[in-house]
Amino acid sequence: MRSLTRIIQPPFVPELRIRVADTLTPTWEATERYFGHAVQPPFWAFVWPGSQALARLMLDSPDLVSGKRVFDFGSGCGLAAIAAIKCGAVSTVACDVDPLAASAQEVNALLNGVTLQSLTADPTRAPLEDVDLVLAGDVCYERFAALRNTSWLRTHAEMGVQVLLADPGRAYAPSSGLELIAEYEVPTTRELETAESLHTTVWRVA
């Protein structure tokens, strides 16, 4: 991973350091050559607008996360999870379905001098236990996944867990049952998006 990536301080969250790739397809092809079999797209090698918005919100308002047990759903490179630890979370799980994301999270946690727990799984089959705050950034970009993920997030909100959903206007994001928390213009990369920045909203799921 190190030969395919470089360390940056994301402009929107310069307090953190993250390894990222410059290009999606060449990184994907090189990863498949290295392992000798097909792998998922390397979404772990980029900072997504939803995760950046969550990280910015926590860094600006650490009381939202301080002292809480945090679960970062669809964590990717671990950006939001790392921000949660920096802001005083007592424990943080960075969860992603891609096993390579766990490696990226470990590397990025070390870069920022923190420790987190990585989980490679699809957690949406059952509610979580022992969690105070669920973070979800950019989890509504596919129709079926968005419906499943939103339902799972609402289950936790109904249980009394605080759920923060950050979305940059994806087509399948929910449009009701949300409380506006913050709005940002988040810088993006043309490797993933069609614009230089995206208007990204952080909602509390009701």
Domain boundary assignment for the chain:
2-205
Torsion sign, CA atoms 45, 138, 170, 11: negative
pLDDT in tens, 80-113: 999 999 999 999 999 999 999 999 999 999 999 9
CA–centroid distance for 156 within its chain:
18
pLDDT tier, 1 (very low <50, low <70, confident <90, very high otherwise): low
Across 50-71, average pLDDT: 98
Q: 């506006």: which residue's tokens?
A: 180
pLDDT above 80: residue 3: no
CA–centroid distance for 27 within its chain:
20
The amino acid occupying position 88 is G
pLDDT in tens, 141-194: 899 999 999 999 999 999 999 999 999 999 999 999 999 999 999 999 988 898
pLDDT above 80: residue 53: yes
pLDDT above 70: residue 2: no
* H or E element in which residue 135 lies: strand 133-137
- Separation between Cα atoms, residue 33 and residue 27, nearest integer Å: 10
At residue 129, the pLDDT reads 96
Average pLDDT, the chain: 95
- Report the CATH number of the 2-205 domain: 3.40.50.150
At residue 192, the pLDDT reads 87
- Separation between Cα atoms, residue 206 and residue 203, nearest integer Å: 9
Name which of 128, 121, 131 is nearest 155 in CA terms. Answer: 128
